[in-house]
Amino acid sequence: MPDFQKNIDSILEEVKNSSAIGTVASYIPELATVSSAKFGIHLIDANQQTYAAGDANEAFSVQSISKVLTLSMALGILGEEIWKRVDVEPSGDPFNHLSLLEQENGIPRNPFINAGAIVISDILVTQLKNPKEDFLNYVRKLADDSTISYNESVAISEKETGFKNYAAANLLKSYGNLNNKVEDVLDFYFHQCSLSMSCKQLCDTFYLYMNRGKCKRNTSYLTINQIKRINALMLTCGFYDEAGEFAFEVGLPGKSGVGGGIVALLPNKFCITTWSPGLNKKGNSARGMQALERLTTMTELSIF
């Protein structure tokens, strides 16, 4: 195995001096309060050895990264049934686009575009007794960390400005692909996106996608087949209209969020999280993408 700590330290130096720092998301006003100078990186390998640099222990808004976790919970409860309501094809569109949803009669292209994630939220609102509490407990268990929480200010901020998500949920409802009230589903969705986690906590949580469905405590949450499906979706849809570029530059399944986080993994080898709040034009962390490209190039470790 390569010297991960050495690699990470040199990547931190490189990206600190990068001029392409990106722009912090402001369409959710609360996210704009975060400094674009932040940069964290954390890696956990298959033996649970960890390597970190920069702001790796500072919590940030995970946003769309949470969509992998809600998908996992829904898949664990309902199994293959969920694919009747959401497809598994890349969209090539930005995360909040609605045009395909109309063309395809209310079946979202995949569970990571906003419309698809809202369908998954609807499934959990139906299936869970106390949706917000039960989902939070699920994440805490995966990470083995009871300190993980929602950030209410971020959830409220998105509730007040999430007009496109209201449009998506109403469209889904009009096509009969939303069973609960728009307000209830979006309240859950805005909360899942507001989860506040550090690079370390995200690596601990995503460990099971690298470890054939078993979390750090060796408890099995998903089957090997379900892990195959989720990792395939991260590779093909995790970066929306930049999924091709991420596969091309980095070569790992992963998921981004507009809070500036990216989680990526190499099955059976390692899971890595970067955090840098400045986003590129496609809504993915600019320096996070650079850092991950450097890591897989330096170590010559990718799925390809």
Binding site for ligand DON (CB under 6 A): 63-64, 95-96, 114, 158, 165, 193, 256-258, 283-284
Least distance to ligand DON, CB of residue 82, Å? 19
Least distance to ligand DON, CB of residue 233, Å? 14
Measuring CA to CA, which residue among 285, 195, 267, 179 is closest to residue 228?
A: 267
67 as an active site residue: the answer is: yes
Helices (H), the chain: 4-16, 66-78, 99-103, 114-127, 131-143, 152-161, 163-174, 182-193, 199-210, 224-237, 243-249, 286-299
64 as an active site residue: the answer is: yes
Least distance to ligand DON, CB of residue 117, Å? 7
Q: Are 21 and 286 in contact (CB under 8 A)?
A: yes
Question: 10 vs 52, 116, 224, 267, CA distance in Å?
Answer: 12, 38, 35, 24
* Mode of pairing for the β-strands spanning 261-266 and 195-197: unpaired
51 as an active site residue: the answer is: no
The catalytically annotated residue of 64, 66, 194, 302 is 64
Q: For the residues of 38-64, what is the DSSP string, one character each? A: --EEEEEETT--EEEEESTTS-EE-GG
Closest to ligand DON by CB, 165 vs 274, is 165
Closest to ligand DON by CB, 30 vs 45, is 30
Closest to ligand DON by CB, 91 vs 211, is 91
Closest to ligand DON by CB, 28 vs 210, is 28
The catalytically annotated residue of 125, 209, 240, 250 is 240
Least distance to ligand DON, CB of residue 70, Å? 12
Q: What are residue 142's phi and psi, to 5 degrees?
A: -55, -45
Closest residue by beta carbon to ligand DON: 64
Least distance to ligand DON, CB of residue 167, Å? 11
189 as an active site residue: the answer is: yes
Closest to ligand DON by CB, 92 vs 216, is 92
Max Cα distance, the chain (Å): 54
Q: Report the distance separating Cα 241 and Cα 23, nearest Å.
A: 18
Catalytic residues: 64, 67, 189, 240, 258
